[in-house]
Each structure stands twice: as C-alpha cells, then as structure tokens.
Amino acid sequence: MNEPIRQRILALLQRKGGLPPGFTDDTDYIDEGIVDSLAIVKFIVDLEKAFDIELTDEDIESPAFRTVAGLTALVGGKRPNAPL
C-alpha cells in the first residue's frame, strides 16, 4: 500500500468530520456517513486536487472508491511515478 497516498486520503476524510472508532482501511466511508451524498462531489474535487488526477464515472462507481484501501490503490494507479 502506498502510505503517503493513504495518509492524504485519511486526512481528507478527517476534514469531513472525523473518523469513528473502529474505522479501518476497509470501512465503507459512505455507508458510515463520513462523506454523505451532499458532500461526495466536494470530496471528489478534493481528491482530484490533492493528487492532480481525474476520477471517471467508472472510478466513482467502483467498490474501490468507497474505502481507503481501494482509494489508495485507485489513486496510486493513476499516478504510479508521481511524487506527492
């Protein structure tokens, strides 16, 4: 797992209201209400800005998008050689 990407994703989620006890990299942050349906667009924009990437509809609809572990892999795949 790419730890710098993981840490930045966790920091972005923290800004959305904090992470509940027991939160793991495999927790579905949408189901947990950390990012609700109203905030998801802002979260997507934050991710794209933070990592200088573009997320497609396919990315956003994938199960990987809903967890830190999945997002870390997804973002890492979009910028395999880019520094943070």
Written as six digits, the tokens of 82 are: 């880019």
The rounded distance, in Å, linking the Cα atoms of 9 and 69 is 10
Q: Closest by alpha carbon to 65, among 30, 33, 34, 41?
A: 30
* Helix intervals (H) in the chain: 3-15, 40-51, 57-61, 68-78
The rounded distance, in Å, linking the Cα atoms of 24 and 50 is 21
Q: What is the pLDDT of residues 14-45, one digit of tens each?
A: 998 789 999 999 999 999 999 988 899 999 99
| pTM, two decimal places | 0.89
The position carrying tokens 């949408």 is: 30
Q: What is the pLDDT of residues 47-73, one digit of tens each?
A: 999 999 999 999 999 999 999 999 999
